[in-house]
Amino acid sequence: MSPLLKLSALIDGLNRFIGRWVIWLVLASTVISAVNAIVRKVFNYSSNAFLEVQWYLFAASFLLAAGYTLLNNEHVRIDVIVGRFSKRVQMWVDVFGFVVFLMPVCLTILYLGIPFFLQGYHSNEMSSNAGGLILWPVYALIPLGFGLLMLQGISELIKRLAFLQGLIEDPTKKAVAMTAEEELAEAIRQQAEKSKA
């Protein structure tokens, strides 16, 4: 199980790295949206390319961060029901969900998505909108995003099985850490205490 836990740690590191950088795509999409709105109102000019690049960035942030979301145990769950069971039963429910639902869905989307991307790439498919962008980069996000999600599913499955064998602590337990806002509030409070003293 030790080599599998090392593999799990590598997958976690990959999705953690990607998740930390993908957040910038949300900012880029927001800035492009704002600039597009200002240019359209002030200069009475717009382009479908501006709209489409926003969609591409949003799709990238959603698809590429799916594995990161699973890593952080922030995906949609049925905790109202499963939360009443023991931790071991919860882990078995997760194992069942990963094996029966997550993996088959990811494999199916990879099986269908890779040829879809390749067809768009080879034909250099363009958007049907005037001034639109090429479509294959966004098509590539489908297998890439679901590939990352499937890898994270494998990592989570390894961690659940290791927990059930008593090899690791609860992988679903969230580390209690301060949010950025809480850290800022704490820094302000400490600064205020220093200035009073």
d(CA 40, CA 43): 6
Contacts of 15 (CB under 8 A, 6+ apart): 67, 68, 70, 71, 148, 151, 152, 155
d(CA 180, CA 132): 38
Q: Output phi, psi for 13, to 5 deg.
A: -65, -40
Alpha carbon distance, N-terminus to C-terminus of the chain: 54
Predicted pLDDT of residue 178: 65
Predicted pLDDT of residue 134: 82
Predicted pLDDT of residue 82: 77
DSSP string, 100-125: IIIHHHHHHHHHHHHHHHHHHHHHT-
Q: How many domains does the chain have?
A: 1
Predicted pLDDT of residue 175: 67
Q: Which residues of the chain have pLDDT under 70?
A: 175-181
d(CA 160, CA 92): 8
d(CA 147, CA 151): 6
Domain that holds residue 178: 2-196
d(CA 72, CA 16): 9
Contacts of 72 (CB under 8 A, 6+ apart): 19, 174
> Do residues 143 and 110 lie in contact, with contact meaning Cβ atoms separated by under 8 Å?
yes
Q: What's the longest Cα–Cα distance across the chain?
A: 70
In the numeric block, which tokens belong to residue 141?
A: 């996000």
Predicted pLDDT of residue 44: 84
Provide the sign of the torsion angle of the four alpha carbons 36, 40, 46, 48, taken in this order. positive
